[in-house]
Amino acid sequence: MAVTPKDILAILAPFKTSAGVEPLKGGYIQDIAVEPHADGLHVNIHVDEVWRGTTVLPEDRTALAAFVLARLKEIHDVRVIPRAKDQANAAKKLSRPGQASPRTPAAVKMIAVISGKGGVGKSTVSINLAHAFARLGFRTAILDCDIYGFSVPDLLQLADPVKTQERKLIPSHVHDIDVMSMKFFVGHNAPIMWRGPMLGKAIRQMMEDTLWNAPEYMILDLPPGTGDIAMDVHEYFPRAASILVTTPDINAARVAERAGHMVRSLDRRLLGVIENMSYMNCPECGYLWHPLGRGGAELVAKSLNIPVVAKIPWVLTGDSGITGLVPDGHPVQNIYRTLAQAIDQMKLLPT
Ligand SMILES: Nc1ncnc2c1ncn2[C@@H]1O[C@H](COP(=O)(O)OP(=O)(O)OP(=O)(O)O)[C@@H](O)[C@H]1O
Ligand SMILES: [Mg+2]
C-alpha cells in the first residue's frame, strides 16, 4: 500500500501531547516525508521545536513517532525532527572564533531553485517566480548563486556595475525585485577563475554585505550540479527550502532526482518539482505537443515523494530572441502566480 504524507496526517489526527496539545492544530507539523527503503517505509516528520511559546518536550516527539509507528505495519522507522535545533546546530558549525555568524535579512523565506542538470530553466523559473511574488505584494529578492555562469541580470536585462553605500552593496532593483549577482562585480563577461571554497565565500559575502530591502521572499538561483555550491547554500541557509526543476526528458529528470536526494540527505525541506518546457501549444493551430517527451516530473515526484507543483510550457519568444520574464498578459504568468500562492501556503520557515 502506498502511504502518503496525507495518510500520516490522518493517523496523527487523534494524537495529543502530554499537556493535551493537538499538534495538527496550528501548524506545529512543518512537513512530512515518506521514503521507501529496503526494510519498509521511513517517515520523517519535521516539527517546530518551540511552538506557541512552549518548547515541545523530547518525550512528546518520541510519543508522536511511536504513535505513527504503531498504526501502520508498512512503516519501519519514524523520525520527528525539530527544525529550530537543526538551524542552531548549523549556525554553531559555521561560527568560527573571530568571525561573525552569518547575517541574513531578518525573517526572509528562502527558496533555492535547483536541478542538478544545466539548461533546464532554473534561472528562468527563478526570475519569473520572483516576479510573481513581487506582484502578489511581497518584498522579493533574488540572489544569483551561479558565480561562474550568472545569468539573472541578463535575463532581467540589468547591466549596472555594483553600487555601494557606506561599504555595503546596494542591490539592483527591477520589476520590484532586488537582485544581487556576481555579474555586477566583473567587467563585460570577464571570466571568473575561482575554486570551490572561494565560490561559497562569494555567495556568503554577497548575502551578508548587501543592504537588502527586508525581503519577505528570496529566491536563490543555483548553478547546475549537486556540487560545492549547492552544499554551501544549504549549509549557510539551513531553512532554505528547495524546489527542483526538470524538463519532461527522463535523463534530465534522473539528474534532478539525484539533486533532490542530496537535499534530502542534508535533511532540508523539498517543496516539490517543476516541469519546465513541459509542453507546447502550436501558435498556429493550438495543437498540444511534447517536444521533450513526457514523464520527467512524475519520475522525480514519485522517487522523492514530493508534489509536482507546476508544469510550465514553452514560452515562444518569436524573432525578438529576448527571453526571460514572461510578457505581461501571457497565460504562463498565471501559472507562476498560482505557484507563488501555493508556495506561500506552504508556510516556509523564515531564516
Ligand atoms: N519555458 C521556457 N520556454 C522557452 N524557453 C525557455 C523556457 N525556460 C527556459 N528557456 C530557455 O532555455 C535556456 C536555458 O534556460 P535557463 O538559463 O533559465 O536555464 P538554467 O537551468 O538556469 O541554465 P544553467 O544550468 O546554465 O544555469 C534559456 O535560453 C531560456 O531562455
Ligand atoms: Mg541558470
Q: What is the pLDDT of residue 64?
A: 85
Q: Cβ of 1: how many Cβ atoms within 10 Å?
A: 7
The helix (H) or strand (E) run that includes residue 112 is: strand 109-114
User: What number does the ligand 1 atom closest to the CA of 314 have?
Assistant: 3
**Ligand 1, atom 31: closest residue by C-alpha:** 323
303 touches ligand 1 (CB under 6 Å)? no
Q: Is the CB of 83 under 6 A from ligand 1?
A: no
Backbone angles phi, psi at 193, to 5 degrees: -115, 80
The whole-number pLDDT of residue 3 equals 86
Burial readout 227-251 (b: 16 or more C-beta within 10 A, e: otherwise) = eebbbbbbbbbbbbbbbbbbbbbee
Which of ligand 1's atoms lies nearest the C-alpha of 276? 1
Query: What is the grid cell recorded at 107?
Result: 525573517
Whose C-alpha lies nearest to ligand 1, atom 25? 118
Cα separation, 285 vs 297, in Å, equals 26
> How far apart, in Å, are the Cα atoms of 103 and each of 97, 139, 208?
16, 18, 5
Sign of CA dihedral 52, 54, 58, 63: negative
Question: Which sequence spans correspond to the domains of the chain?
Answer: 5-88, 109-345
Q: What is the atom index within ligand 1 of the atom nearest the CA of 115?
A: 21
Q: For ligand 1, is residue 123 a contact (CB within 6 Å)?
A: yes
pLDDT confidence of residue 304: 96
**How far away, in angstroms, is 323 Cα from ligand 1 center?**
8
CA 74 to CA 41: how far, in whole Å?
6
Residue 215 CB coordination number (10 Å): 26
pTM above threshold 0.75 = no
Intervals of the chain under pLDDT 50: 85-104
pLDDT at 284: 81
CA angle in degrees (0–180, nearest 5) for 216-344-328: 85
**CATH superfamily, with its number, for domain 5-88:** Fe-S cluster assembly (FSCA) (3.30.300.130)
User: How many C-beta neighbours within 10 Å does residue 143 have?
Assistant: 28
Per-residue DSSP letter, 248? S
Report DSSP state, residue 72.
-
Give the amino acid at 56.
V
Q: What is d(CA 212, CA 64) in angstroms, rounded to the nearest whole number?
A: 40
Find the DSSP H helices in the chain: 5-12, 58-69, 83-94, 122-135, 152-155, 196-208, 228-236, 250-265, 296-304, 331-345
CA 278 to ligand 1: nearest atom: 1
In this structure, whether the domain defined by 109-345 belongs to CATH 3.40.1390.20 is answered with: no
Same fold for the pair 5-88 and 109-345: no
